[in-house]
Amino acid sequence: MSFEEFKPLNEKSLVEYIKATPALSSRIGDKYEDLLIKEVGDGNLNFVFIVVGSTGSLVIKQALPYIRCIGESWPMTKERAYFEATTLRKHGSLSPDHVPEVYHFDRTMALIGMRYLERPHIILRKGLIAGIEYPFLADHMSDYMAKTLFLTSLLYHDTTEHKRAVTEFCGNVELCRLTEQVVFSDPYRVSTFNRWTSPYLDDDAKAVREDITLKLEIAELKSMFCERAQALIHGDLHTGSVMVTQDSTQVIDPEFSFYGPMGFDIGAFLGNLILAFFAQDGHAAQGNDRREYKQWILRTIEQTWNMFNKRFIALWDQNKDGPGEAYLADIYNNAEVLQLVQENYMRNLLHDSLGFGAAKMIRRIVGVSHVEDFESIKEDKQRASCERKALEFGKMLLKERGKFKSIGEVVSAIQQHS
C-alpha cells in the first residue's frame, strides 16, 4: 500500500502505515500480532488512534479536510497538522515536561505520531467534572505558559527571527478564521450555529446580541487577536487540551497555534477553570456539596496567574541582556526603569487574559461549541441556572477587566457572582 497521497486511515491501513514507517514501527518493537488499536477522536476535527503493543505504544492523529463533527459540508484545511506538529516540537523543546514527544510527522498524510499518554492520564475537563484535585496543576501550567510564551516573544528574540516565525504561522489562517467566527463574532449576532439552553436562556442570549458595550469590548479583543503577533500561542488552551494525573500535566492539540496575543492562552485556561467553578453546583451530590472543591478551583486560578507572573519575570530578568529586542538593555539600563516596564507589561497582560477568558466563557454558553462541564448537568433548568451565573460573570469581566489590579480581586468577584 502506498501513502504518496492523502487518504484517511482506518485500523487496517494504519497497521500498514506503521510497518512502512521506521520512526513508528520501532516504538512498538516491530511486533504486530498483539496490537490493540482504538479510535478515540472525541474532538471536532480529527481521527485519533491509540496503538498499544506488548513492547510499546503511540498515538496517531490524522487531520481530515473537513470538520468531523459537522461533516464535509464544512471544509477545513488538513494543513493544520503541519502547524500542530511544528508547535508540539517547538513548545516541547521549551517545556519538555509538559508536552508529549512527537515521533513522526507526515505532511502529505496530515498525520502525527506521538507519545501515548497512558492511564491514569485523563482529560483535565473530565477530572474537574468528577471533582478531582490536582496538586501540581497551577505549578505545571504556569511553567508551561511562562516558557512557551516568553521564549517565543520579542522579549527573547530579535525582530528578524520573530518576523520569520510569524510569517510561517500566518499560513494557519483558516483555523484563526474559525476562532474569529466562533469566539468573536457568532455569539454577538444571529447565527444558525449558535445554541443555548432554551427556553431558559433565550433572553440572556438576546441580551448578549443587543449589548452595545459588550460589542465595543469584543471588537478590541478581536482586533488584538487578529493583529498582535506577540508569541507562539497554543490557540486553544482550554481544559480539554490538557491531560493530567496527580503528578503529570501534558498539553496537547495545538492545531490552532499561531503568533498571537499571549493573553489568549492564559485567558483560555483561566476562563475554562472559571466555567468549571460555575458548573460545580450542577455536579453536587448528597454528601458532597462541592464547596471545598470550588475553593480548590479558586486557589488554582489564583496560583496559576501568580506563579506565571513570577516565572515570566524571572525569565525576563535572566535574559535582559540577551538578543530580545522589545526592551534594549542600554535603554532599560537600571533596576527602576526595568521594574516599571515589567509591571506595566504584566498589568496589561493580566487585563488581556481576563478579556480573552471572558470572551471564551461567553461563547461556550451562547455559541456553537459548548463545554461538558455544563452539558453533563442533566436537568435543563439547573444547567441554565449555572450557565447564567457564568454568563453574567463573563459579561462583567469583559467590560470591567481594566479595573482589576490582581488575580485575587478577580477571585473575590467570582465568589460574589456565585
Q: Which residues pair with 258 in a beta bridge?
A: 233
Q: Which residues pair with 59 in a beta bridge?
A: 50, 114
Q: How far apart are the C-alpha atoms of 380 and 141, rounded to whole Å?
A: 33
For residue 68, what pLDDT is reported?
A: 63
Please choose, from the candidates 18, 24, 31, 162, the residue with its C-alpha nearest in 3D space to the C-alpha of residue 101. Answer: 24
For residue 69, what pLDDT is reported?
A: 64
Residue 390 class from Cβ within 10 Å (0-12 exposed, 13-18 middle, 19+ buried)?
buried
Domains of the chain, first to last? 11-115 (3.30.200.20), 122-417 (3.90.1200.10)
Q: How far apart are the C-alpha atoms of 393 and 74, rounded to whole Å?
A: 32
For residue 109, what pLDDT is reported?
A: 96
User: How confident is the prediction along the chain (418 residues), in pLDDT tens digits per residue?
Assistant: 678 899 999 999 999 999 999 999 999 999 999 999 999 986 667 899 999 999 999 999 999 887 766 667 678 889 999 999 999 999 999 999 999 999 999 999 999 999 999 999 999 999 999 999 999 999 999 999 999 999 999 999 999 999 999 999 999 999 999 999 999 999 999 999 999 999 999 999 999 999 999 999 999 999 999 999 999 999 999 999 999 999 999 999 999 999 999 999 999 999 999 999 999 999 998 889 999 999 999 999 999 999 999 999 999 999 999 999 999 999 999 999 999 999 999 999 999 999 999 999 999 999 999 999 999 999 999 999 999 999 999 999 999 999 999 999 999 999 999 9
Peptide bond just before 323 cis, omega within 30 deg: no
For residue 66, what pLDDT is reported?
A: 77
For residue 193, what pLDDT is reported?
A: 93
pTM of the predicted protein model: 0.97
For residue 241, what pLDDT is reported?
A: 97
Q: How far apart are the C-alpha atoms of 285 and 293, rounded to whole Å?
A: 13
Which grid coordinates belong to 296? Answer: 480548590
